[in-house]
C-alpha cells in the first residue's frame, strides 16, 4: 500500500489558481507533476477564440505537462452551476456548441478523458424532460469522444453542496453511464469516482470501489470534512486507493482539493515527489 503506486494528476482549476491560467502548467511542473486536468477554463464561453485554445496548449507543452482530463462546458464553475447539458434553452445550446470544440482541443493535447457534468434541476421543468435532453446531449458527447479515441466521464456530486444536482450517488451515476452506452453502442461512457463527493453523500466507499472499480474511468480525491488535502480530514485515502488498485483500477487519480491558506505548491507536500512524476 502507498501513494507512489498510483498515477496522480493535479486539477489546475482548483489548485494553483493563485496564478493566471497560462502560468499554472509551469507551476504544476515545478512542483513535480507531469499530468494535469482542467474544468472548462472559459466559463463565459463554450467557444473561445482559437488563439486562446492555442495559448493554453502551448503553456501545457512548454511545461511538459500532459492534459489527462477536461470538462465540457459546464456554466459558472466554480459557482452556482453544476453543468449545462440537461438545462433547456440557452445552456443546452451552449453545451452542444462546445462539444466539438472541447473534443478537438482534447485531441490536440492528447487528452483521452472528457467529463460531462449533468446539470441542476430547474424549477418548472419536468425532470423526465431534463433527463431526455441530457441523454440526447450525452450521446452527442460520447460520439465526439469516440471520434478522438477518448472516454466520456459521468460524475456524481454531493447533495449537501449541490442539492439541485440529480446524480448524488454512485448507482445514479452508473445508471446514466449504462443509458449512454445502451444508446450509442460505443461502450466509452465511464464513471468518474470522486471519493470526496461520495463520502459527503454518506456512501460506503469500500463498497463503491468493489462494485464499480471496473466501470470507472477516472478517480478524484479530496479529504473530508473540508475538501482539503489528504491528511486534513478523516478519510482513509491511502487505504481506499490501495483498494482501488487491488480491484484493478490503474487509471489517473486527480488531486481536486482546496489548498487552504497556503500556496498550492505547499499543499501537495503530503505526496512523495516520486509519485508526482506519473508513469506514462
- Catalytic residues, by residue number, are 155, 256
Gap between the Cα atoms of 16 and 10, Å rounded: 9
Helix (H, G, I), strand (E, B) or coil at 254: strand
Helix (H, G, I), strand (E, B) or coil at 88: coil
Q: Which helix (H) or strand (E) holds 102?
A: helix 90-109
DSSP one-letter code for 31: T
237 in Cβ contact with 223 (< 8 Å): yes
Residue keyed to cell 470501489 = 209
Q: Which helix (H) or strand (E) holds 200?
A: helix 195-200
- Report, in this order, helix, strand and coil percent for the chain, each rounded to 5: 40, 15, 45
Half-sphere exposure of 248 (CA within 13 A, CB side): 8
Amino acid at each position: 500500500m502507498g501513494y507512489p503506486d498510483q498515477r496522480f494528476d493535479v486539477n489546475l482549476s482548483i489548485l494553483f489558481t493563485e496564478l493566471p491560467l497560462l502560468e499554472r502548467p509551469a507551476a504544476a511542473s515545478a512542483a513535480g507533476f507531469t499530468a494535469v486536468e482542467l474544468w472548462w477554463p472559459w466559463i463565459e464561453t463554450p467557444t473561445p477564440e482559437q488563439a486562446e485554445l492555442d495559448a493554453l496548449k502551448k503553456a501545457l507543452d512548454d511545461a511538459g505537462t500532459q492534459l489527462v482530463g477536461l470538462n465540457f462546458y459546464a456554466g459558472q464553475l466554480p459557482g452556482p452551476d453544476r453543468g449545462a447539458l440537461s438545462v433547456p434553452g440557452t445552456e443546452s445550446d451552449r453545451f452542444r456548441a462546445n462539444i466539438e470544440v472541447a473534443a478537438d482541443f482534447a485531441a490536440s493535447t492528447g487528452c483521452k478523458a472528457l467529463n460531462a457534468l449533468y446539470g441542476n434541476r430547474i424549477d418548472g421543468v419536468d425532470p423526465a424532460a431534463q433527463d431526455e435532453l441530457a441523454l440526447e446531449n450525452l450521446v452527442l458527447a460520447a460520439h465526439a469522444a469516440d471520434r478522438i479515441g477518448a472516454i466520456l466521464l459521468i460524475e456524481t456530486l454531493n447533495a449537501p453542496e449541490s442539492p439541485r444536482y440529480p446524480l448524488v450517488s454512485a448507482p445514479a451515476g452508473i445508471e446514466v453511464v449504462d443509458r449512454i452506452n445502451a444508446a450509442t453502442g460505443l461502450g466509452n461512457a465511464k464513471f468518474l469516482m470522486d471519493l470526496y463527493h461520495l463520502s459527503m453523500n454518506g456512501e460506503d466507499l469500500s463498497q463503491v470501489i468493489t462494485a464499480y472499480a471496473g466501470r470507472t474511468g477516472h478517480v478524484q480525491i479530496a479529504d473530508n470534512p473540508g475538501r482539503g488535502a489528504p491528511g486534513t480530514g478523516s478519510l482513509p485515502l491511502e487505504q481506499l486507493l490501495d483498494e482501488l488498485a487491488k480491484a484493478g483500477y490503474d487509471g489517473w487519480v486527480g488531486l481536486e482539493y482546496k489548498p487552504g491558506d497556503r500556496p498550492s505548491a505547499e499543499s501537495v507536500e503530503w505526496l512523495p515527489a516520486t509519485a508526482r512524476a506519473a508513469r506514462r
